[in-house]
Structure 1
C-alpha cells in the first residue's frame, strides 16, 4: 500500500510529518547529575545549564541552552503543533555523550541514566515522541547498551557521537557495535560530539557553527576509508545534512583515485556517501536543494535540531521551498522516516476531531542503500 502524501495533492491518508533530529534533557536526569556534582541547575530559570567538562566536552563553565521544551512535555507538544510536526524522534544532545572522557565507568553510567530518563520522557508524550538510544562509541559495552535500549526500553533507534573513549569511529573496539546496528537494521543518527583544534574555534561560537560540520565530515571520512561502510550495511543518518562532507566528496574521490594510501576501499568515497542518509538541518535552501539532487530525496529526512537555538522553526516551509514534486516532498517530510524507523504515527485530525488515520510505513526491506 503506497504512502499518502503530506501535501494534500496525492491519494490516500496524509503521511505524518516526522522530525528525526530533535533533543531532550529530562529534568530527572539533570537533577541526578546535579546531586552527583556533575551539573549545575542554578541558572535554569535563565534557561542555562552547566555540565561537568568530562560529560559535555566543553570548557569549564560553558553555558548550555536549556529551553523549557528540553524537559517540559506540555511546552514540547505545543511546539510540535506550532511547527506543523506530527511526530518527533528524540535523542539526548551531544553534551551528554561524554565523548571526550576516557573513563569507561562514568561514560556508561551517564549513558544508561540518560537512556532511562529519555525512555520515561517519551513514554509520557501520548505517542507524539519516539526515543533514540545513546550508544557510547569507543567504549566496551556499547552493543550491550544498544540491545538493552531496543529490547527493554522500546526505543526506536540509536544516536551516537563522532568520537569516544579516545578512539575514532573506525577503531576495532566499535566493530561489535557496527555489527549489531547492521544486523538490526537500526536507524542511527550520527551527531557531532567534539571538535578538533578547540583553541582555534573558541571564539564566535565557532565550536558549533564550524567545528561540528567539520567533525561530521572527519568522522564520516574515517567510516569510508576505514572500511566500516564496506563491512557493515548501516542505516546511518548524518546530522546537519552531513556537515561539510557532501561539499568535499569530489576531493575525497580525487584522493582515492590519485593517492595510493587512500585507495583502500572497493568504491569511490562518493559511492558510500550516496548510501547514507541526511537530515534537512542545513539552514539554506540552495544547499539543501543540492543535497537532495546529489543524494536523492529517498535519502533525506526532515530534521530541525529542536529545541536548541540553532533550529529550523518552519521545517515545512523549508522543504516546500525546494520545489520538488509531491512524492519527493512526502518522502522528505515523513515518508522516509516512517519507513526507516518502522513508525506507525497517529496524527492530529486536521478538523480537530482527535487523531486521524496515518499511512502505514513501507516495510524496512525497502530502505535506500
Structure 2
C-alpha cells in the first residue's frame, strides 16, 4: 500500500486545479451509513477525509510496468482496498489471465463460428427454500458478525413488540401483517449477506419493510419511517413531535371522565386534569395548529380543549424554554395563530400562568 501511495505524482480536481499532496494519509474508517459495518481504507488529504462524492483525479506511476496512469480517486482507493498494485494495462497483459481466458473460450467453443447459445432453464427458488438457506448461512457466521448485524436490525422479539403499532408497509402495499412473517436474517445477494424481510410463505411473496406507517403511542397520529431499524431500541413508538417533546419533558397521560387518554408533561398540567375530573368537566387534548416561523410552517399543539366551555387552554410555567420563545417572538406568533384558529371554531383561547391559575379557575370554571 505504501508503494502505491508513494507513486502518486499529482491529485487534481476535475473542475478546478491541482491539490496540495504534501500531507496524504490512508486510514481504515467505518462510514456512518455502512451496510457491512466494516472499516475500509479512506484517503485523508491535508487533514480532511475524502468521501466518495468527490471530483478528484489521481496521476500515479504503476509499480509493475512504470507506466503513468490517470484514474479517479475512487478507483485508486478501490485498488488499495482490493490490495491490487497493477494498472489496467498490466492486468490485461497478464499471461496467466490471457491463457486462462483462451482455454475457457476454446473449451466452451465461444470462438467457433457455429456456436449457438444454449439457454439453461432457470429454477426460481421458493421463499421457503431461501429461508432454509438463510438459516444455514446464518449459522456459519461468527458471533461478532451476528452481534454487529443485530445492533442495527430488529430481531424477531423486537419486531413482535412493535408489530401492533404498524398500520402499513411500503406506502400501504401491506396492510395486514397477520399474513406475513418477519425474517430478520433473509439471505440476499449483496455484500450485507442478509436483510430483514416480511415473507408470505403461502403466497410465496417477500417484501422489504420500508416506508412503514406507525401509530404514535402518545397522540395516536400516523407517521412514516423510511426504515424499520429507526425504531431499534426505542421503548415507545412516538411521532416526530411527541419524540421531540419527550426528549425535553417526559410525556405522560391520564384518563378523563370519559376514559379517554389525556397527555400532560408537567405537574401543573396534571393538576389541571385532576381538577377537571373532580369537577366533572370534560377535558380533551388540545388542537394542533400550524403557524409560520422564519420561512417554515411549524406545528403548535395547544395543551387542552374544553368542548362544553368552548375553551382552548395553554398552561405555562416560567421555565427557560418559554422565556426564550417570548424573547425571540416565537411564542407571540403561536398565540396569534391560536387565536385565529379559536375564532374560526368559535372558541376562546387562554394562556394561563401558575400565578394566575386560581383566579382563572374561580372566574371561568367554578360556577
TM-score by length of 2: 0.20
Q: Which has the higher helix share?
A: 1
TM-score by length of 1: 0.20
Larger radius of gyration: 2
